[in-house]
Amino acid sequence: MRQITFAPVFREWQRLARGALSSGLAPDEVVWEELHGDQPSLGMFEEAEPGIASPASAFRVPRDFVEMAQRVACHRAAERWSLLYRLLWRLTHGESHLMKIAVDPVVHALQRMDKAIRHDVHKMRAFVRFRAVAHQDQTWYVAWFEPEHHIVEFNAPFFRDRFASMHWSILTPHRCVHWDGAHLTFTVGVPKSEAPTEDAVETLWLGYYGSIFNPARVKTRAMEAEMPKRYWKNLPEAALIPSLLREAPHRVEQMIHHSQQKSAEDYSPAPVPETHSLTTLREAASICTACPLYKNATQTVFGEGPRNAEIVFVGEQPGDQEDLAGHPFIGPAGQLLNRALEEVGIDRKLAYVTNAVKHFKWEPRGKRRLHAKPNSREIIACKPWLMAELAAIHPRVLVLLGGTAAQSVLGSKVRVLRDRGQLMHSEYCQQTMVTVHPSSLLRAPDEESRQQGYADFVKDLRIAADLLSKGNPH
């Protein structure tokens, strides 16, 4: 057994590993003993392409081993050196494809170390925050970071290239790196007290961070997975996060409320008439230009049905056939709706059918026009027309077909699959319910799914039919 005592830097281990290979020392015959805990330095084995002769002092090793070894050398685990030598020995003694065998215990252990280094490197790049300080009549930017592994030297070229025009230092407990605009230098670690705690631009940064924080996109678990709380203490913006998270629901409600205040009048020269005449509303809507959809649609497709209808069905938007004919729900989805209504005993001629959006939104596919989902801007622009229809009819039962209709009437909190078939109160009808849009049944992947989806759809409509049969007052 031979003990090799060495400074735990990559180049030193590389030199000694070459000597051990040349001497024929098997992994079990070598004990790697670290001399002290200095920061690993970068280096690499000489690489030789297959079939190309290399010097006697060099060894043929796969490129992916070279790249992984440089990273694993930054790990804190003392056994990294013996594991690297064991893998190197096997790669140079007949197992040249060993790196591809992830279930091998040695390969697996080194890959776990490699993954830890990659993670630590990424976190350092994401969470270093510089603060400006005066140093020798210059502005010097200083940051504090606490890496889990010896990654400072490995990561230094990234910061050099990213902040080449600045003079900066990154301080850590075990190793510090400095860039003076021309050279990288490294010094021993320092305590956190050596790092600045604030600077003149921090208030601006915090104001900017707070302004770009989007409460509608907050996913707390995902945020904490990407930015673990142990890094928060070194991030100036971390102080804002708890209050921003507490305020997020209220800010989202304000955003929704503000957006819902917008109407067709905000965008269109054709105001919604204050009338309960469906004929007058239909004529006014025919020249609506509240959103860009009118430019590519054939015509406005307004709702149809009797003024005294006890039940109203609201869909998403007209389809290709509806756009050409000018009547709602006459295409495949409309035919499926008619079939279901007949099955539950609702006379389509006595119902009022309409859509949340009155123009056909589509994308070209060759000679075909394919449906495109309307966005919130287009839904908001059309909402006054739908509200005017509902106010004119004042139905006893309101059935919202699909997410767009539900969003337009009940807001963003409603979920079709979660809330379908349940009675809810809306501003326009005390007996409001949500179900799927019949077009979703046509998109089912197989016949069994279509049949089950249709059965569930009929079950929902039967609830609406039962409400009508009870003769409840408005």
Alpha-carbon distance values, 352 to 58, 302, 306, 458, 466 (Å) = 84, 11, 6, 18, 17
Count the Cβ atoms, other than its own, within 10 Å of residue 458. Answer: 16
* Closest of 275, 277, 297 to residue 287, by C-alpha: 297
Residue 27: closest CA among 86, 78, 77, 81: 86
Element (H, E) at 424: strand 423-426
Instruction: Give the residue-averaged pLDDT of 255-269.
Output: 52
Q: What is the mean pLDDT of residues 22-26?
A: 92
Dihedrals phi, psi of 305, to nearest 5 degrees: 145, 175
The pTM for the full model equals 0.48
Answer for the pair 210, 247: CB distance below 8 angstroms, yes or no.
Answer: no
pLDDT at 89 over 90: yes
pLDDT band at 377 (very low <50, low <70, confident <90, very high): confident
User: CB of 35 within 8 A of CB of 6?
Assistant: yes
pLDDT band at 257 (very low <50, low <70, confident <90, very high): low
Q: Is the pLDDT of residue 273 over 80?
A: yes
pLDDT of residue 240: 59
Pick the CATH number of 265-469 from 3.40.50.1970, 3.40.470.10, 3.40.1160.10, 3.30.1130.10: 3.40.470.10
- pLDDT reading at 57 higher than 50: no
The token pair at 449 is: 């799914």
Q: Residue 231: what pLDDT?
A: 62
Contacts of 427 (CB under 8 A, 6+ apart): 409
Enumerate long-range contacts of 152-156, CB under 8 Å, 24 or more apart.
Answer: 152/39, 152/176, 152/177, 152/186, 153/39, 153/40, 153/41, 153/42, 153/177, 153/186, 154/40, 154/42, 154/70, 154/71, 154/74, 154/117, 154/121, 155/121, 155/124, 155/125, 156/184, 156/186
Measured CA to CA, the distance from residue 185 to residue 312 in angstroms comes to 74
Find out whether 401 and 316 touch, Cβ atoms under 8 Å.
yes
**Confidence at 428, pLDDT banded by 50, 70, 90:** confident
Whether 266 shows a pLDDT value over 80: the answer reads no
Give the Cα separation of 434 and 417 in Å (integer): 9
Position with higher pLDDT, 286 vs 271: 286
pLDDT band at 184 (very low <50, low <70, confident <90, very high): very high
Mean pLDDT confidence for 58-84: 89
The sheet with strand 168-171 has its strands ordered as 131-135, 138-144, 168-171, 175-179, 184-188
Q: How far apart are CA 336 and CA 4, in angstroms?
A: 80
Which helix (H) or strand (E) segment holds residue 313: the answer is strand 311-315
The structure tokens 């990288």 sit at 184
**Whether the predicted pLDDT of 46 surpasses 60:** no
Is residue 234 pLDDT above 70, yes or no?
Answer: no
Tens-place pLDDT, residues 112-156: 999 999 999 999 998 888 888 886 778 888 888 999 999 999 999
- Of all residues in the chain, the percent with pLDDT exceeding 70 is 78
> pLDDT tens digits, residue range 380-413?
999 999 999 999 999 999 999 999 999 999 988 8
Task: List C-alpha distances in Å: 8 to 16, 175, 207, 231, 385.
Answer: 11, 14, 44, 27, 74
Share of the chain above pLDDT 90, in %: 58
Q: What average pLDDT does the structure give for the chain? A: 84
- Residue 326's pLDDT band, with cuts at 50, 70 and 90, is very high
Name the residue ranges covered by the structural domains of the chain: 2-123, 128-194, 207-259, 265-469
